[in-house]
Amino acid sequence: MRWTEEEYMAALAKRQKAVPINDIGKKKKTNKYGAKKTWRDGICFDSKKEADYYSKLKLERQGGLIAGYIVHGKMICTTGGDSSEERATTYEPDFVVLHNDGTYEIIDTKSEATVTPVFKNKMKALKEKFPDVEIHVR
- Any domain includes 132: yes
Contacts of 70 (CB under 8 A, 6+ apart): 95, 96, 98
CATH number of 129's domain? 3.40.1350.10
pLDDT digits (tens, 9 = 90+) for 86-125: 777 788 899 999 999 999 899 999 876 678 888 888 888 8
Is this model's pTM higher than 0.75 or not?
no
Q: Does residue 32 contact residue 73 with C-beta atoms inside 8 Å? A: no
Beta strands in 17-73 (DSSP E): 38-40, 43-45, 68-71
What is the distance between the alpha carbons of residues 119 and 126, in angstroms, rounded to a whole number?
11
Q: Please name the helix (run of DSSP H) or strand (run of DSSP E) that holds residue 135, with its range, or none.
A: strand 134-137
- Any domain includes 70: yes
Task: Specify the number of domains making up the chain.
Answer: 1
Helix (H, G, I), strand (E, B) or coil at 43: strand
What is the distance between the alpha carbons of residues 69 and 108, in angstroms, rounded to a whole number?
13
What is the distance between the alpha carbons of residues 75 and 106, in angstroms, rounded to a whole number?
10
Can you say whether the dihedral through the CA atoms of 58, 61, 62, 65 is positive or negative? positive
User: How many contiguous H segments (helices) and E segments (strands) does the chain have?
Assistant: 3, 8
- Any domain includes 67: yes
pLDDT digits (tens, 9 = 90+) for 6-54: 777 777 677 665 455 555 556 666 666 677 888 999 888 988 999 999 9
Residue 110 lies in domain: 5-21+31-137
- Any domain includes 26: no
